[in-house]
Structure 1
Amino acid sequence: MYFRSVTARVLLLATAWSGLALVVIAVVISALYTKSAERAFTDLLRAQLYNVINSITIGDDNSLQGNPQLGDLRFSQPETGWYWIVEPLGTFAATPLSSSSLGVSNIAVPSILAAPFNNRYERFYSASDAFGNDVLVAETEVVLDSEGRAARFRVSGNLSVVVDDVSSFTRNLYIALVVFGVLSLFVNGLAILFGLRPLDEARRALERVRRGEAERLEGQFPREVQSLTVEMNALIESNRRIVERARMQVGNLAHSLKTPIAVLLNESRLLDKPHGELVRSQAEAMQAQVQSYLNRARIAAQRESLLARTETEPVLERLVRVMRRLNPDKTFVLSAPTSGLALAMEQQDVEETVGNLLENAARHATQSVWIEVMPAVAPEGPEAIRRNWIEIVVEDDGAGLEPAEIKEALKRGRRLDESKPGTGLGLSIVGEITREYQGRLELTRGGRGGLRAALTLPGVTKEVA
């Protein structure tokens, strides 16, 4: 259900894309900053190297002389990894010079093959000093006088400076991007909810149509949703026309058959008794069959109508009042919730199904009939799950029926008690109408001794998030 939500899908995709983009941005910026920090560190060592070169000369006693002032206290503090070293080359046998931070130790010089010079006759290589510091060394060789005496100049810097700088920048970058990502996710969620609000408004408008509070989708919708509302209004109007046309055809057919059947019934009274009884029974059967199929056609025409809605409690109260007038010696007890359950059925069909059950219960009850309304468990099937279902139970305190008798009672025209008036069509009609609405009718022996008839009928459609 989570991935069936448009809001959840868009928010999930936006979050995934934003997260991926922020990770890529973090990696790229961190890599660029690392290269920039390394380049700046290399440029700093180069500048320090040439400061040392400019500070060293050959004295009158053929010794190396000079005191480079590099403006960095780390070159005078021991074991810092920041050193400068000047070493004579070739036949120039002078005493090497170095910064006080190096002390009496030295840094190994790699071969030219391992660390070659560039086109500026400089080379940079990594090394470790005697104190365990990882350093980057900038080196060059310079001829100091006209006699060709030369020296190797080296300046080293502690690589932990670069590592710490990059680590601090990366940590701050990740914190900033995480905060930005969370805020972006919040803003994206608000934007998505705001952008999808017209769909929710369209849903509420359709719900008002389903509840019978409006006849079409009304409201101001954006261009992307307007076409959907236009099509929905056209569908509702088409549905309404189909229902009206079906009702008109049913009325016309009923009217056209009403007179011929009435004539047959009247003529059956003029015939001799055996033939008259035969014609009358067949005419009544024809009348019942016609009415049954007309009901089926009408129900099939409007069963899926969005406008079919009947409030349960008012209809049942009206039926109970009628039954109390017709059966003053019987007690009718109605128990219905005050929350207002609505059936997705035409009022005429509700009255016919429940009315038949009440007539049957009143006919066989000793003293009382009970009517109870409650929410019901949905019948099996994918379409049934999408609806709310309502159970209407009618129970009497009469003699009741055995299981075998219940099967017979559901057959059209079967009467188990010939001493009571009736045609034997009531329960059959109830079953047919219930099946047309994809509901359920169950007859059992009730707890009060009589027959218990439980109708499971469709309520209004559930909202699907």
Structure 2
Amino acid sequence: MMQSLRLRLVIGAVLAIAFVLVLVGFGLSRVFSTYAADRYRADMSAIMDQLAASIEIRKGEPVVTNEPSDPRFGLPGSGLYWQVIAEDGRVIRSRSLWDVELPLSALHAGPYGFRETEGPDGAPILVDLRWIDLETPGGTRPFTLFAAFDRKVIDDAISEYHGSMAVMLAATAAVLLAAAMLQIGIGLAPLSRLQASLARVRSGLLDHFEGEGPTELKPLVLELNQLLQERETAVERARARASDLAHGLKTPLTVLLHVADGLPDPEKALIRQQVDLIRQRADRQLQSARLGVEQMAQTRLASLAGKLVSVLMPVTTARGIDWNLRLDDTLTVDMDPADLAEALGNVLDNATRFASSVISVSAERKGDRIRLCVEDDGPGVEEAALAEIAGRGVHLGEGEGSGLGLAISADVLSAYGGGLSFARSALGGLQVTLTLPSRMHDGKPDGEE
């Protein structure tokens, strides 16, 4: 099953052009063959008219007093012949037949509406035949008139015409096919522009489709814009409900904490632990609900990473930790800035807690993905434990953090089609690799001119 609309149109155009040209070729061939046969039939009829007007009876014998003047009749085997047969079997013929007579019994149906037989040289000839009655003083005398020509003459003429017609039809087919390809290209161009607009809408460069374009596409553009508007409304509602839920939980949890302050230490610790657990799970569910809602934005990686590092700089400077950032300014990620900040911020925060003296951040493009590596020179993680780092509630350090940071980062990246992986760093600590989506348009990464 063909999936390409362009291929369907091309095949349809080829079949239509071939069908029409075959019909035209067949029609022209029939027209020319009929025309050529009519011309030769008219010539033969003129010869027989002259013969009929020239037959006389002298001394009881028929003679042709005024033979057709074409010089080919005087050349044996010239390809043009005439013959007169009287009722008594006497034959008068042109010199071009030499000593050959054309009996009626030798004639059979031939092409182009003529009769056919063999000529003086054995080659087929086409014969036009007429019967006449000549009025004489002795009564009416019947005669049979022949006018003939070589079949090869008309065959060659028609064959030459067919050759010229084939060249003409081939040239016509090439021109029509080129015109069809041009028409298909022009006709499909609005779809290519619509696709480019869709890519810009998806990347966040446009918030709606432009209304310009062919009349046939305007209803589609209108429907797409309405879909975008409805989607935006749904996004705002989802975010509002998430915010309402967050605020709705905040007050009851705060009240529980105040109530817990008046309880004995074991019960107070248990309530605080459960409240923290509720907050963690609520935060994670709210984060999951928000993921994928706004995935059409683009974010410059170097700019966002720089802002996150500047926020963490006071903490790392106080501990004597240096930052080594190697990020290309042209790298652009297909993620909402808030989601990217959430995913990368958790990883950077983890690095600041365990680094000893340096944190390295680098990125490189791999097709339609960007591999962002965050490395530190801290104690690292045992090889066997690397696969479990992003699990729920897993702590990299004893009693530090909630154990949800890297898990939330993994969820965020997964929602965008990316991922999170871990390995030992060449610096000695942990290497966290974020795989980020980054489409390329017209052979260039998004964001490059």
**TM-score normalised by length of structure 1:** 0.85
Aligned to 1:313: 302
Residue 350 of structure 1 deviates from its aligned partner by 0.8
Q: Could you tell me which of 435, 442, 445 is aligned with 1:456?
A: 435
**Residues 289-320 of structure 1: CA distance to partner in whole angstroms, max 9, x if unpaired?**
111111111115x05x5x43333231122223
| 3-state SS of paired residue (1:249) | helix
**Residues 252-303 of structure 1: CA distance to partner in whole angstroms, max 9, x if unpaired?**
1111111222333344444332222211111111111111111111115x05
Separation of aligned partners in 2, 1:83 and 1:395: 105
Separation of aligned partners in 2, 1:371 and 1:23: 69
Match status 1:175 vs 2:188:
no
**Residues 333-374 of structure 1: CA distance to partner in whole angstroms, max 9, x if unpaired?**
23333433222x321111111111112122222332222323
Please say which of residues 165-174 and 199-208 is displaced more in the overlay: 199-208
Change beyond 3 A, Cα 1:220–1:410? closer
Q: Could you tell me which of 358, 362, 380 is aligned with 1:400?
A: 380
Q: Which runs of 5+ in 1 are unaligned?
A: 117-122, 378-387
Q: Could you tell me which of 86, 104, 108 is aligned with 1:109?
A: 104
Residue 432 of structure 1 deviates from its aligned partner by 2.5
Separation of aligned partners in 1, 2:230 and 2:338: 22
Q: Could you tell me which of 270, 273, 285 is aligned with 1:278?
A: 270
Separation of aligned partners in 2, 1:188 and 1:414: 64
Q: Is the 8 A contact 2:211 2:218 kept in 1?
A: no
**Residues 69-120 of structure 1: CA distance to partner in whole angstroms, max 9, x if unpaired?**
24x3322333222111223332x7x5x33222222233343268x569xxxx
Structure 1: 4+ residue segments shifted above 6 A: none
- What amino acid is the match of 1:308? A
Q: Is the 8 A contact 1:397 1:449 kept in 2?
A: yes
Aligned to 1:120: none
Q: Could you tell me which of 383, 389, 410 is aligned with 2:390?
A: 410
| 3-state SS of paired residue (1:327) | helix
Q: Is the 8 A contact 2:109 2:116 kept in 1?
A: no
**Residues 163-217 of structure 1: CA distance to partner in whole angstroms, max 9, x if unpaired?**
1221222222222222222222222222333333333333333333223232211
- What amino acid is the match of 1:392? L
Q: Could you tell me which of 350, 358, 361 is aligned with 1:371?
A: 361
Match status 1:341 vs 2:332:
yes
Aligned to 1:221: 213
**Residues 146-170 of structure 1: CA distance to partner in whole angstroms, max 9, x if unpaired?**
4354443211112222112212222
Aligned to 2:16: 17
Separation of aligned partners in 1, 2:73 and 2:428: 108
Q: Which runs of 5+ in 2 are unaligned?
A: 443-449
Aligned to 2:184: 192
Q: Is the 8 A contact 1:309 1:460 kept in 2?
A: no
Residue 246 of structure 1 deviates from its aligned partner by 0.9
Separation of aligned partners in 2, 1:220 and 1:191: 20
Residue 462 of structure 1 deviates from its aligned partner by 7.5
| 3-state SS of paired residue (2:197) | helix
Q: Could you tell me which of 315, 322, 336 is aligned with 1:331?
A: 322
Aligned to 1:64: 63
Q: Is the 8 A contact 2:106 2:117 kept in 1?
A: no
| 3-state SS of paired residue (2:205) | coil
Please say which of residues 398-407 and 20-29 is displaced more in the overlay: 398-407
Separation of aligned partners in 1, 2:329 and 2:153: 77
- What amino acid is the match of 1:287? R
Residue correspondence of structure 1 range 342-361 to structure 2 within 5 A: 342-343=333-334, 345-361=335-351
Aligned to 1:289: 281
**Residues 415-440 of structure 1: CA distance to partner in whole angstroms, max 9, x if unpaired?**
24327x43322222222323333432
Q: Is the 8 A contact 2:62 2:86 kept in 1?
A: no
- What amino acid is the match of 1:314? S
| 3-state SS of paired residue (1:84) | strand
- What amino acid is the match of 2:74? S
Residue 376 of structure 1 deviates from its aligned partner by 4.2
Q: Is the 8 A contact 1:106 1:129 kept in 2?
A: no
Residue 124 of structure 1 deviates from its aligned partner by 4.3
| 3-state SS of paired residue (2:46) | helix
Match status 1:131 vs 2:121:
yes
Residue correspondence of structure 1 range 412-451 to structure 2 within 5 A: 412-418=392-398, 421-451=400-430
Residue 41 of structure 1 deviates from its aligned partner by 1.9
Separation of aligned partners in 2, 1:15 and 1:276: 83
Change beyond 3 A, Cα 1:23–1:335? farther
Change beyond 3 A, Cα 1:124–1:355? closer
Change beyond 3 A, Cα 1:414–1:115? closer
Q: Could you tell me which of 66, 78, 81 is aligned with 2:79?
A: 81
Q: Is the 8 A contact 1:59 1:65 kept in 2?
A: no
Separation of aligned partners in 1, 2:141 and 2:288: 118
Residue 451 of structure 1 deviates from its aligned partner by 1.8
Q: Is the 8 A contact 2:333 2:436 kept in 1?
A: no
Please say which of residues 60-69 and 157-166 is displaced more in the overlay: 60-69
Separation of aligned partners in 2, 1:367 and 1:131: 112
Q: Is the 8 A contact 1:76 1:101 kept in 2?
A: yes
Match status 1:140 vs 2:135:
no
Separation of aligned partners in 2, 1:181 and 1:391: 52
Residue 235 of structure 1 deviates from its aligned partner by 0.5
- What amino acid is the match of 1:82? L
| 3-state SS of paired residue (1:363) | helix
Aligned to 1:98: 93
Change beyond 3 A, Cα 1:149–1:407? closer
**TM-score normalised by length of structure 2:** 0.87
